[in-house]
Amino acid sequence: MTPFRMSRLTARIMAIMLFPLAIFLVGLLSLDQYRTTLIQSEFVALERQGFTLARSLALAEAERDRRVARRQLSPETMTHLIPLVGLGSSLRARVFQPNGSLLADTARRSGFQPNVDIRRHLDKSWRQKIRNNLNDMVAAASGWFSPFDELPAYVEQRRQRASQYAEVIAALSGEPRRALRIDRDSNLMLSVAVPVQDVRLVRGALMVSIGGGKIEQELANVNIVFLQLFVGVLMVTLGLSLYLARSITTPISRLAAAADKLRQSADMSSRLQRLPHRNDEIGQLSDSLIDLTDELQKRIQATAAFAADVAHEIKNPLSSLRSATETFSRAKTAAQKKQLLNVILQDVQRLDRLITDISQASRVDTEIIGQDRDPVDFAGLIDNFIQMRSQTHSQYRLRYEHPPLPVMVRMNESRIVQVIDNVLSNAISFSPKGGMVQFILTAAATRKSAVLEILDDGPGIPDAKLETVFDRFYTERPSGESFGEHSGLGLSIARQIVDAHNGQLTAENRPEGGACFRLVLPLES
């Protein structure tokens, strides 16, 4: 099993997949819409309770003071405050006189002593401790984004006055107002002050407040749920990221390592190994790389073989030239010197022919790939070719049969003419003088191809050599032909050109004698 390592591609894949999750986390920490909704709901409830309490106190004061409407509240009326609020309630109510003094406080009774709430201390379970710690972490992280950290602090003096609370001052002027603060334990403190008034006479102000512990607890529960969801999604995302990265980067790394190993290897028979069980794009990439390296190896081997053949073919005329020049200095008669000069001239011509054909053969593939191919009437092209070659080869009869309609083939015209010329030259070299070379063109609509057959009256080709005749530097010439007249590259070049046109060039023997070369090219669609 290949060890996993964090590559650049793996890091990019994981970053892309984790980016939306990071946005979700930032949104979780910075989104305060839910908290704002809870606070607004608490304020509405506080205002409703405050107005109810204030109306009850105003009615009680009016019932007590029927004759004279005084702009103040009596302490006797405050006896109704605690029963109205409810004993043990988390709601705190304070009443202020119009002069700003504190008249009553449900949290402080006689002597302004705070109520003591005695409860049994219970040890928290480890789960509760973990939840609290996680909630503290989320709250601390949310502090970077939350605007509630900018709220004023709630500070309660021992002797309270209305001037310490802006909402109470507003209520004494007849306007209810809300206030949101943070206590020293970083908990929210919500307060609402409403006027205690009889018709339009403001007798005092009622301030009801409640701690934000309930809100914080609901937020903590929501934070824990979303944090659990975030951790779960994070684990799934990390797992999928690692799986995706491993399924992509590991085979690519294997391909890169195998290609580098193949590059450093001196064994030309070695090849890339296909990836097992890969039917996706990476498997297609593997197959393409394997086909590419195989084709490159074939071309390298073909180039090496071609270089070896070229060296062998050039060595023969060079050896002949060397022998002739060494013998020339020892020749005594003019006839011997003339004969040696003829040998030297023939060898030079043979070298020139070899170098020309070798240069042409080496440029065939690149030139055909780089040139455009146009639709050409193949029948008209052969007709023009035969008319020109009939004058050059006047000692032979050239006959042409073709269909009446044009045969359109997309081709490189000059290169296809070269193919026909090379095959014709080969046919004439084996045909007796006065012999006939026939050109028969047919268009096979079913196979969507044009077929040109070139038939000669020569001795034919040995059955074992029907494919060998297309090899480079293969020469098997008639007995009467001078040595070195042909380089053995004509048919090889012709097949190269035809292969580049996605066609076929084959040879066979005719039953009545002679050879038949068949050229097949795809028709223009």
Please compute Rg for the chain using Cα positions: 52
The pLDDT of 159-177, averaged and rounded, is 92
Looking at residue 524, what DSSP letter applies? Answer: P
At 289, the pLDDT band (50, 70, 90 cuts) reads confident
Residues of the chain with pLDDT > 90, as a percent, come to 18
The pLDDT of 369-373, averaged and rounded, is 67
Locate the DSSP E strands across 340-413. 374-377, 397-401, 408-411
Q: Is the pLDDT of residue 468 over 50?
A: yes
The pLDDT of 396-413, averaged and rounded, is 90
The pLDDT of 66-72, averaged and rounded, is 63
Top-confidence residue, 458 or 119: 458
| Count of Cβ atoms closer than 10 Å to residue 417 Cβ | 17
Report pLDDT for 118. Answer: 39
Q: Is the pLDDT of residue 483 over 60?
A: no
Say how far apart CA 128 and CA 134 lie, in whole Å: 10
At 113, the pLDDT band (50, 70, 90 cuts) reads very low
Q: Maximum Cα–Cα distance for the chain, whole Å?
A: 169
Averaged pLDDT of the chain: 78
Q: Where are the alpha helices (DSSP H) in 31-102?
A: 33-64, 81-85
Give pLDDT tens digits for 242-281.
777 777 777 777 778 878 887 777 666 667 766 667 776 7
Tokens of 250: 């590991």
Locate the DSSP E strands across 138-186. 177-182
Best mean pLDDT range from 27-31, 291-295, 419-423: 419-423
- Alpha carbon distance, N-terminus to C-terminus of the chain: 51
Give pLDDT tens digits for 506-522.
999 998 888 999 999 99
